[in-house]
Amino acid sequence: MAPLNPEAIPDIAVVREDLFQILERRRVAILSGFAVVVLGSLGLLAWVSVGRDREDRLRAEYHAIVDDLAQGRTLYSYVGNEAVPQKDAAVDQAKKLEELRVRAAGSGIEPLVLLQLALRHQVAGEDAKALSVLGELRAKFADSPVMAIQAYDSETSTLVDRLEGISKRRMAFTGGKKTVVPKPDLATVALVETDLGSFKVAFYPDIAPKHVEAFVAQAKSGGFNGTQVYSVRRGEWIELGGGDRTRDASPRDDREDDPAVALAPEDASRLFVKHRRRTVTSVRLLSGDQGDRFAVVLAENRADFDASNTPFGELLDDESAAVADRIGSAMTYSQDAAWVGRKEEKDFPHTPSRPVVIRRVSIWKEGVIAPGHTWDTSRVGTDQPEPK
């Protein structure tokens, strides 16, 4: 290495003077570059600010529509514990979301807008529109967190999957698919004895075997005995059973879900059998069809049950239908003058104000009571209630 020569080191004053001269010659270029950087930063901040303001405005409008801040309407109203779809509100909100959808294109809330729009189309009964919007949501936002939202009634299914499934089933049912008129198996019959008379049920084991099996097992174990008719829709349908939830005096938990008795729907029946007068069908709650409950259709048809509930039997004869109609005429809290203005009138409008009890349900084969009942069947067919 060459030795350091002190005389080769430039004088600091000379270096400073040269630097000042360079800066002076390039002052305009430097200042111009600095101005460009400053203006660019300010422009970026302004752009971000405008973007945030736009996002905030869109989000506020989105919540105003979804929460219906103007009129306070919801997609469902609750009569007691039962949800009733509000189609007028759904149609009105869908129209506003369609308008917002155009302005929200490319923003962070676009997938939310699409999801809520699809939901409102479905509530309004517009399944084709719902599926179209859900398809767009899948195509454009496959990685969006919205796609991972879980369905309210499943730990494995997403909300988008659930909505698509409902709309597809309903469209398949009403889209010209050939329906089935089931033929009941008359060899096995259930005798349902209540405070207001007895009726008989014949089953559809060929198309709903799991539901029939669950009903028969529940009857033989005495699971229906002492339960109540907990929901009466005069001229429409009645719901019965419910285990200990309806055996007690309080109606508060009558429609409480029980995952332990949940049944998966049976599509051979659910998707091909229409609900008509005398149909005995499942009661669907949060975890699925409930094996300790059943419903009887009193109206000529119940299209809203189609592709949702699983029909698994029918009333055997006219006498049984007459008893079901009698039960369906029971006075409820909303109809009983003694309960006007009281809490029960509002909270439990479809619960009979005077309990209608299922005394017992027994299974008969070829006209003879079937073996396997785990309770004393000696009172079957008499007016004697079961001992408490």
**DSSP per-residue letters across 99-161:** HHHHHTTTSTTHHHHHHHHHHHHHHTT-HHHHHHHHHHHHHH-TTSGGGGPBPTT-SSSBHHH
pLDDT digits (tens, 9 = 90+) for 209-228: 999 999 999 999 999 999 99
Instruction: Count CA atoms closer than 13 A to 238's CA, side-chain side.
Output: 28
Instruction: Tell how strand 358-365 and strand 185-194 pair up.
Output: antiparallel
- Asked whether 266 and 310 are in contact (CB, 8 A), the reply is yes
Reported pTM: 0.66
Residue for token digits 């079957």?
380
| Beta strands in the chain, from DSSP E residues, in sequence order | 76-79, 82-85, 185-194, 197-203, 228-233, 237-241, 262-263, 279-281, 284-285, 288-290, 293-297, 311-315, 358-365, 368-369
- Predicted local distance difference test score (pLDDT) of residue 34: 62
CA 229: distance to chain centroid? 24
Residue for token digits 């002190």?
6
Tell me if residue 164 falls in helix, strand or coil. Answer: helix
- Predicted local distance difference test score (pLDDT) of residue 154: 57
Query: Where along the chain do its domains lie?
Result: 11-43, 58-174, 185-369
- Which of 271, 273, 275 is closest to 169 using CA atoms? 271
| CATH code for the structural domain at 185-369 | 2.40.100.10
Q: Is the dihedral of CA 212, 218, 224, 229 positive or negative?
A: negative
- Which of 200, 115, 172 is closest to 308 using CA atoms? 172
85 backbone dihedrals φ, ψ, rounded to 5°: -65, 140
Read off the DSSP letter of residue 8.
G
Please give the radius of gyration of the chain, using alpha carbons only, rounded to the nearest integer: 34
Two tokens at 257?
């879900």
CA distance 328 to 201: 16
- Exposed / middle / buried, residue 143 (Cβ in 10 Å: 0-12, 13-18, 19+): exposed
- Predicted local distance difference test score (pLDDT) of residue 153: 56
Can 58-174 and 185-369 be said to share one CATH topology?
A: no
| CATH code for the structural domain at 58-174 | 1.25.40
User: What is the residue-level pLDDT of the chain in tens, covering all 388 positions?
Assistant: 556 555 555 666 665 666 656 656 666 666 666 666 666 666 555 554 555 777 888 888 888 888 876 777 887 775 554 567 788 888 999 999 999 899 988 888 898 989 999 988 988 888 889 999 999 999 999 888 888 887 765 556 788 888 888 888 777 766 656 778 999 999 999 999 999 999 999 999 999 999 999 999 999 999 999 999 999 999 999 999 999 999 988 888 888 889 999 999 998 888 889 999 999 999 998 888 999 999 999 999 888 888 889 999 999 999 999 999 999 999 999 988 888 888 888 888 899 999 999 999 999 999 999 999 999 999 998 888 777 6
